[in-house]
């Protein structure tokens, strides 16, 4: 494969290890993303051409610099430019968390948590389609089962490239999911309802009757209203997409039981989780940074800083 190397300079502070670990759920791999031995890798498909993106840290949290390597058989300026754009998106390299830190520093419970996770940026999915399919797979099941289903979907229906003895899979194109059909997705243990939702959405994208990427121009409320009109998509999914697929700073998946339970343990200390209405009322004081609050709480849970 051909190689192209360059450097990227994130907005400081930037903790590459923490951000890459969060992107992979503090595992070596999650869905199409891998983070092994200090290198974050992702196979992309750009204009039908596969290319492997590798990111590693060359700097520090306070003075960050990342090395970017793009590998492919048909690299040209267009592919390299798009690979660079997606690499920046994947690990939130262009985000600036400092306004959030100023707000969090005034919070008794947020301040110490943020200090322990300082430099965490919010990873993004490569596309809204990817974010939507991953979110649907995670609906109302344990995180362990969700990770297994996501990996199976990628390994079974994503294109692949082998580099130095390791096989990397891209996230499946909508057309590949349409071809697999509901039966194909059921064959990898995805429920009939979720398979139906995902195949239907993939079909609409493939036929160009649904254009999810164009939603970036809408307000948060307009995005939520649009998404929740799609079969299989509720407010929980839509709010996670605001955080992980649209890069909006104020998403808040209030229907998430783990999120409400954590807020209860930290703030209210009742015997039962907060109701969605109560959690939403509390969260208003963190607006417009609720995506960061949500991400930092889940990073604390997944990394073991907070007990689940």
**Domain CATH number, residue 65:** 3.30.310.20
| pLDDT one-digit tens code per residue, 95-136 | 999 999 999 999 888 999 999 999 999 999 999 999 999 999
Task: Tell me, yes or no, whether 114 lies in a domain.
Answer: no
What confidence tier does 270 reach under pLDDT thresholds 50, 70, 90? confident
| pLDDT one-digit tens code per residue, 7-65 | 999 999 999 999 999 999 999 999 999 999 999 999 999 988 999 999 999 999 999 99
Task: Tell me, yes or no, whether 187 lies in a domain.
Answer: yes
Residue 49 burial (10 A CB sphere; 0-12, 13-18, 19+): middle
Choosing from 221, 244, 267, the residue where a domain stops is 244
Residues 222 and 277 in one domain: no
Task: Tell me, yes or no, whether 109 lies in a domain.
Answer: no
Task: Tell me, yes or no, whether 249 lies in a domain.
Answer: no
Residues 148 and 224 in one domain: yes
Residues 147 and 68 in one domain: no
* Residue pair 104/110 in contact by the 8 Å Cβ criterion: yes
Structurally, the chain folds into a number of domains equal to 3
Instruction: Give the E-state strand segments of the chain in sequence order.
Output: 2-8, 29-30, 33-36, 39-46, 49-57, 66-72, 160-163, 166-169
Q: What's the average model confidence in pLDDT over 273-302?
A: 96
**How many Å apart are CA 303 and CA 85, to the nearest integer?**
28
pLDDT greater than 70 at residue 211 = yes
Write out the DSSP string of 29-58.
EETTEEEETTEEEEEEEETTEEEEEEEEE-
**How many Å apart are CA 150 and CA 96, to the nearest integer?**
29
pLDDT greater than 90 at residue 227 = yes
Q: What's the average model confidence in pLDDT over 149-166?
A: 96
Mean pLDDT, rounded, of the chain: 96
Residues 167 and 231 in one domain: yes
Q: Are strands 39-46 and 33-36 parallel, antiparallel or unpaired?
A: antiparallel
Task: Tell me, yes or no, whether 133 lies in a domain.
Answer: yes
Residues 213 and 299 in one domain: no
Residues 67 and 136 in one domain: no
pLDDT greater than 90 at residue 198 = yes
Residues 148 and 236 in one domain: yes
Residues 239 and 271 in one domain: no
The answer for residues whose C-beta is within 8 angstroms of residue 99's C-beta and 6 or more apart is: 289
pTM above 0.85, yes or no: yes
**How many Å apart are CA 52 and CA 133, to the nearest integer?**
22
Range of the domain at 147: 128-244
């Amino acid at each position: 494969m051909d190689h192209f190397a360059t450097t990227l300079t994130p907005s400081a502070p930037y903790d590459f290890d923490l951000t890459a670990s969060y992107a992979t759920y503090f595992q070596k791999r999650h869905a199409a993303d891998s983070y092994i031995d200090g290198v974050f890798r992702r196979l992309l498909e750009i204009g039908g051409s596969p290319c492997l993106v590798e990111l590693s840290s060359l700097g520090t949290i306070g003075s960050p610099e990342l090395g970017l390597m793009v590998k492919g058989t048909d690299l040209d300026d267009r592919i390299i430019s798009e690979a660079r754009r997606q690499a920046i998106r994947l690990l939130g390299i262009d985000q600036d968390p400092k306004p959030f830190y100023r707000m969090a520093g005034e919070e008794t419970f947020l301040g110490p948590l943020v200090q322990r996770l300082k430099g965490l940026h919010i990873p993004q999915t490569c596309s809204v389609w990817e974010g939507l399919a991953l979110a649907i797979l995670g609906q109302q099941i344990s995180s362990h089962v969700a990770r297994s289903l996501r990996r199976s979907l990628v390994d079974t229906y994503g294109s692949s490239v082998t580099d130095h003895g390791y096989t990397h899979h891209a996230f499946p194109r909508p057309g590949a999911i349409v071809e697999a059909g509901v039966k194909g997705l059921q064959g990898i243990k995805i429920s009939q309802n979720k398979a139906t939702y995902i195949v239907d959405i993939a079909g609409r994208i493939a036929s160009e009757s649904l254009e999810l990427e164009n939603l970036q121009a809408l307000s948060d409320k307009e995005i939520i209203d649009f998404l929740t009109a799609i079969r299989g998509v509720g407010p929980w999914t839509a709010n996670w997409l605001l955080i992980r697929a649209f890069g909006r700073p104020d998403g808040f998946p209030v229907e998430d039981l783990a999120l409400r339970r954590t807020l209860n343990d930290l703030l209210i200390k009742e015997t039962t989780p907060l109701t969605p209405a109560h959690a939403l009322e509390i969260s208003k004081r963190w607006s417009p940074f609720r995506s960061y609050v949500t991400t930092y709480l889940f990073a604390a849970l997944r990394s073991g800083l907070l007990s689940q």
